[in-house]
Structure 1
Amino acid sequence: MKIAFVGKGGSGKTTLSSLFIRHLAATGAPVVAVDADINQHLGVALGLDEAAASMPAMGEHLALIKDYLRGTNPRIASAGKMIKTTPPGDGSRLLRLCEDNPVYDACARLVELDGGAVRLMVTGPFTDADLGVACYHSKTGAVELFLNHLVDGRDEYVVVDMTAGSDSFASGMFTRFDITFLVAEPTRKGISVYRQYKEYTRDFGVTLKVVGNKVQGRDDLDFLREQVGDDLLVTIGHSDWVRAMEKGRPPRFDLLEEPNRRALCTLHTAVAAAYEVRDWERYTRQMTHFHLKNAHSWGNERTGVDLAAQVDPGFVLGEGLAASA
C-alpha cells in the first residue's frame, strides 16, 4: 500500500506521518518510509539524532537506480535515456518491499523503533548548489521511479512524507498512492491547501482524506466539518507524547494517548479499505499519461529521443508480476 501525507508547512504533516509509521511498524508489517519533503525531518521524527539522520540522498544515486530498474527492457536504450516518469515494461526490474536489492543497499537505512523496524529513504535536502538552477521536484524524481516500479501488496506499506502544498503537483507523483492523507489545521490557510489539493486531484481518482491536526475543541471540529465535509476522516489533539518526542525523549510508543492511538487505527482502517478498490490498470494508465506529458514538455528535447517509445502498451503493473528482470 502506498500512502502519502501532504499539507502546508507547519501543519504537523511530518509528525503525523512518523506516528503512523510507528503504528504500522508496531503491527510487525514491512514498512518503507520516504522523506520527500524539502525540509528533511522525518528521520529525526523517527528518533534519529541530527547526525544520524544525515543519509545518502536518493537523488545522488539516480544513475544507479535508473540502471537497475531498466533491466533488460528493450524499449529503454540506456539509463541516460530514462526520466523520472519512465514507466516499467517487459524486462524492467521491479521492486518489492521485502527484498534486498541495489536500490535499498545504496539508499535505505534500517531504523529501529520500539515496536519494530522500518527502512528509511530520503530525497535529500535542497542545497546551496541548487539555488537558481533547480526546483525541488527534480529531487523527487528518484522517488517517482521507485514508486513506478514497486509491486506492493496487502499489509505492506510505503509511507511518503511529501513536500508541502502545491509543489506536490510538479509531477504525476500525486497519483502514485492508494490513499493520500491531507493534514489540515482548523484555519483558513489549512483549508485553502485542502481546496487546492481537492481541485487538482479531481480528475485523477485520488482517494483524499483529511486529518485534522491541532484540534483543541468543539469549535475547531465544527469548523473542519463545515469546510471539508465527508473528507474529514479523524482529528488529532494535543499530545504530551509528541511533545516529549520533539524534545528528543520519546516514551515507549505504547504510551501514546488512547484517543490518538484510536486515530491512528482509523487511518489504518482507511488504508485497508483503499486496498480493496486498488486499480492497477488505472495506476499504469496514469503512469503513461504523465510520462507522455513530460516527454512532450521537456523530456524528448533533453534526451534526444522520442520517449513515447518507452511505453509498453501491453504491460500492466500488478502483484502477479515477479520482482525481477
Structure 2
Amino acid sequence: MKIAFVGKGGSGKTTLSSLFVRHLAATGSPVVAVDADINQHLGAALGLEDGEAAELPAMGARLALIKDYLRGSNPRITSSETMIKTTPPGEGSRLLRVCESNPVYEACARPVELDGGTVRLMVTGPFTDADLGVACYHSKTGAVELCLNHLVDGPGEYVVVDMTAGSDSFASGMFTRFDMTFLVAEPTRKGVSVYRQYKEYARDFGVVLKVVGNKVQGQDDIDFLRAEVGDELLAGVGHSDWVRAMEKGRPPRFELLEEANHRCLRTLRTAADATYELRDWDRYTRQMVHFHLKNASSWANAKTGADLAAQVDPGFVLGERLVATA
C-alpha cells in the first residue's frame, strides 16, 4: 500500500507518519519510508541523530541515476534526459518492488533500525542555498513521483510518504499516487482549512482521504472535527508523553506508547489495508498518463525538444501481474 501523510505546517504530520512507520515495523511489515517534505524531519522523528540525518543521500541529487535505471530498455524513452517526473513506465521499463535490492535503493535508501524491525528510509533532500531563486522544490520531489510511477507493491507491503505541507502537494500529480491519504488536522478552523482544499482538489481523482485529528484534548475537539469533516474523521490523537520524549531524542521502547495512541495507529492501518481491495491499476495508469500529457504540453516538450506524448505505451498497464512475469 502507498500511503501519504499531508496537512498544514505544524499539524504534526511528520510525527504521526513516523509513529505509523514504527507501528508497521513493530509488526514485521516491510516498509519504505520517504521524506518528501521541504522541511526534512522524518529521519530525526525515526530516531536518527542530526548528523546521521544530514548524511542521508538525497534522491533529488541522484535523479539521473534513478531515470537511467527506470528507463531500462523502453524504446519509447530515447534517453534519460527526456524523462520527466511524470514519465510513465512501458514495455522494457524497470519496475521497483518494496522487497528487493536494486540500484535505486542502493543509492538512495538507508536502513533505519526501529523497535521490532528495520525500515528503508529515503529522502528528497533539503532545499539548499544553491536552489534559492533558481529551482522549485518540486524538482526534488519529482524523483519520488518517478519512483511511485514505477512501483509495483503488494498486500502487506507499505510505502509511507511524509508529504510537503499544505496544498503544495497538488503542484504535481503525485497526490493521485496513493491508496490512502491521511490528512492530519488540528481541531481549529485553520487546522481544517487544508482539508477543505485537499477535498476540493482531489474530488475528481478518486483519492481516498481520511482525517486524523491531532492535539486533541477532549470530546469537544472530536465533536468540532466531526462537524467539520463528517465521516472522514478516522481517529484522534491526544497528548503523548512518549512523543515528548521522542522529540527530545530519548524515545522509550515503542511498546510503551500510550495504548490509546496504539489503538489509533491500528485504526489507521486497518483503513489503509482496506484500500487494497479497491485498487484499480487501470485507473492508476490512466491518471499517470493524464498528468504526463499535461506536463508534456504545458512545459516539458519545449524544455526537452521532444514530443513526450510519444513516451506513453498505450498497451501498458502497471500491475501486480508484472511481478510474476518480471
TM-score range, shorter chain: over 0.9
Q: Does 1:288 align with 2:289?
A: yes
Q: 1:127, CA displacement in angstroms?
A: 0.7
Task: Output one character per residue of 1:173-210: Cα deviation in whole Å (capped at 9) or x when no partner.
Answer: 00000000000000111111000000000000000000
Contact map agreement 1:95 1:324 (CA 8 A) in 2: no
1:4 is matched by which residue type in structure 2?
A
> Which residue is equivalent to 1:144?
145
Distance 1:74 1:138 in 2: 25
Equivalent position amino acid for 1:29 in 2 = S
Q: CA separation in 1, counterparts of 2:22 and 2:181? A: 18
**Any idea what SS the aligned residue of 1:321 has?**
helix
Q: CA deviation at 1:254?
A: 0.5
**Is the Cα contact below 8 Å between 1:94 and 1:323 reproduced in 2?**
no
Secondary structure in structure 1 of the residue aligned to 2:234: strand
Q: What pairs up with 1:227-242 in 2 under 5 angstroms?
A: 227-242=228-243
1:322 deviation in Å? 3.2
**2: CA distance, partners of 1:125 / 1:324:** 37
For 1:322, what is the secondary structure of its paired residue?
Answer: helix
Alignment-derived partner of residue 90 in structure 1: 91
Give the gaps of 5 or more residues in structure 2.
none
- Residues in 2 aligned to 1:2 and 1:323: alpha-carbon distance in whole angstroms: 20
Report deviation, 1:131: 1.0
Deviations 1:248-296 (Å, cap 9, x if unpaired)?
A: 0000000110000000000000011111100100000000000000001
2: CA distance between counterparts of 1:127 and 1:285?
A: 34
Partner of 2:320: 319
Deviation of 1:225 (Å): 0.5
- What is the Cα deviation at residue 324 of structure 1? 8.7
Task: Point out 4+ residue stretches in structure 1 off by more than 2 angstroms.
Answer: 322-325
Match for residue 170 of structure 2? 169
* Aligned residue type for 2:47: G
Give the Å deviation of 1:137: 1.1
Pairing of 1:56-75 with structure 2 (within 5 A): 56-75=57-76
Alpha-carbon RMSD across the aligned residues, in angstroms, is: 0.9
SS at match of 1:186: coil
Note the 1:98-177 alignment, pairs <5 A: 98-177=99-178
Could you say which residue in structure 2 is the equivalent of 1:267?
Answer: 268
Partner of 1:36: 36
- Is the CA contact 1:85–1:290 (under 8 Å) kept in the aligned structure 2? yes
TM-score normalized by structure 1?
0.99
Shift of 1:62: 0.3
Tell me which residue corresponds to 1:15: 15
Distance 1:124 1:212 in 2: 28
TM-score by length of 2: 0.99
Q: Give the residue type in structure 2 aligned to 1:114.
A: D
Match of 1:61, SS state, is helix
Q: In 2, Cα distance between the equivalents of 1:211 and 1:167?
A: 19
Answer yes or no: is the 8 Å Cα contact 1:96–1:323 preserved in 2. no
| Alpha-carbon distance between aligned partners in 1 of 2:324 and 2:16, rounded to the nearest angstrom | 31
Q: Name the count of aligned residue pairs.
A: 325
Residues 70-120 of structure 1 deviation map (CA, whole Å, 9 limit, x = unaligned): 000000000001000000000000011111100000000000001211000
Runs of 5+ consecutive residues of structure 1 not aligned to the other structure: none
Q: Could you list the per-position Cα deviations for residues 118-165 of structure 1 after superposition, in whole angstroms to 9, with x for gaps in the alignment?
A: 000000001111111112111100000000000000000000000001
CA contact (8 A) 1:25 1:117 kept: yes
